[in-house]
Amino acid sequence: MKGRIRIAACTAALLATSATVRAGELDAFKDKAGTLRIAGGTAHIPVMKEAAERIIKAYPAIRISIAGGGSGVGVKMVGEGLVEIGNTGRAVTEAEQKQYNLVSFAFAIDGVAAVIHPGNPVANLDSDTVRDIFAGKITDWKEVGGKAGSIDLYTRDEASGTRAVFWTQCLAKGAIADKANVVPSNGAMKVAVSRDPRAIGYVSIGHLDESVKAPTLDGVAPSQANAAAGKYPVVRQLYMNTKGKPAPLAQAFIDYLFGPAGRQIVAAAGYIPVSAP
C-alpha cells in the first residue's frame, strides 16, 4: 500500500510539473492580444499551424492567420507590410534585403527530395540522371530501370523556395523542360505525384509520407538525419522573416519556436530544429 501511495504521489507531482512547464512555455503571450499574420513558404505550414493552435487555445484574445503562396510571396507580403512574418525556404536575396530591410530567423534544417509514385520500381537515381530527366533528355522510365512509359514531370513555380533549392543544389541550375506540370505547394506536389504512376517531382523531406516514394540520391537516403549530418546533398534552412525588428507579438511567436516546445513542434514536423541566433 505504501508503495502505491508513493507511486501515486510521484505521478501527481510529475503531472503538476508537466502542467506548469506547458503553461510556462506560453507565458510570453499572456499579456498579448491582436492578430499575427503569417504567409509564404508551404514547407513551414505544419509547424506554423501547430504552434498557432497551441497559442490560440491558451490565449483566445490572440488571432493567428497562416497562408502559403511560396517563398517569393512571403518576402513580398512581409516587405509590403501585409503580414508580420514572411516565411521562406531559402535565404532572402541581397536585393530583397536591400529593398525591404528584412530580418531573418532560421529555425529549421530541411532537405528536398525527388519523389515518384509508390508503385514505381525505381529505387535509386543519381544526380546526373535527375538533371537529365528534368531537362527532358530522358523521357521514358525504361531508360532508368523502370517500367516502359513516358516520364511525367512536376515542378513548382519560380516563387517557391523548395524549387530554388532543388534547382540550385540538385539540378545545378540546369533547364527544367517546358512540358513540366507546375503545382503550387508541397502538399499539391504529393497529391499530383501520388495519383500519377509515371510522375516525378520533388518535395521537402519534412513532407514525405507513404503517399509518395523518395528514391535514394547517389545512394544516400533522403532523410533529415542524413541532411543534418551533411550526407544528403540537397539541404536548406527554413526562415521566418520580419520587416525590421519584429513587433512584440511576432517576437513572442519567434521566441516560442526557438524554445523547448517550439523545437519539439519543429522535430515532430520532420525537420531539424536550429538554435536561436
Q: How far apart are CA 207 and CA 17, in angstroms?
A: 33
Q: 3 pLDDT band (50/70/90 cuts)?
A: very low
Residues 114 and 230 in one domain: yes
| Average pLDDT, integer, range 96-112 | 96
- The pLDDT of residue 19 is 38
Q: How far apart are CA 222 and CA 231, in angstroms?
A: 9
C-alpha cell at 68: 502559403
Q: How far apart are CA 197 and CA 210, in angstroms?
A: 14
Residues 147 and 223 in one domain: yes
Q: How far apart are CA 62 and CA 160, in angstroms?
A: 29
DSSP string, 8-27: HHHHHHHHHHHHHHHHHHTG
Residues 215 and 139 in one domain: yes
Nearest Cα to Cα of residue 65 among 34, 93, 43, 92: 34
How far is residue 132 from each of residues 43, 56, 123, 156, 197, measured CA to CA in Å?
Answer: 26, 47, 17, 17, 19
Residues 102 and 115 in one domain: no
| pLDDT value at 133 more than 90 | yes
- Decide: helix, strand or coil at residue 217: strand
Residues 263 and 165 in one domain: no
Residues 171 and 201 in one domain: yes
Residues 207 and 150 in one domain: yes
Q: How far apart are CA 96 and CA 103, in angstroms?
A: 11
Residues 53 and 85 in one domain: yes
Q: How far apart are CA 122 and CA 135, in angstroms?
A: 19
Q: How far apart are CA 54 and CA 58, in angstroms?
A: 6
Residues 156 and 78 in one domain: no
Residues 223 and 179 in one domain: yes
Q: 22 pLDDT band (50/70/90 cuts)?
A: low
Share of the chain above pLDDT 90, in %: 86
Tens digits of residue pLDDT in 39-96: 999 999 999 999 999 999 999 999 999 999 999 999 999 999 999 999 999 999 999 9
Q: How far apart are CA 149 and CA 32, in angstroms?
A: 57
Whole-prediction pTM: 0.80
- The pLDDT of residue 119 is 97
| pLDDT value at 18 more than 80 | no
Q: How far apart are CA 199 and CA 265, in angstroms?
A: 31
Q: Are strands 216-217 and 124-125 parallel, antiparallel or unpaired?
A: parallel
Q: Total domain count for the chain?
A: 2
| pLDDT value at 12 more than 60 | no
Residues 84 and 129 in one domain: no
CATH number of the structural domain spanning residue 30 = 3.40.190.10
Residues 255 and 171 in one domain: no
Owning domain of residue 35: 2-107+242-273
Q: 228 pLDDT band (50/70/90 cuts)?
A: confident
Contacts of 125 (CB under 8 A, 6+ apart): 114, 133, 144, 215, 216, 217
Q: Are 101 and 239 in contact (CB under 8 A)?
A: no
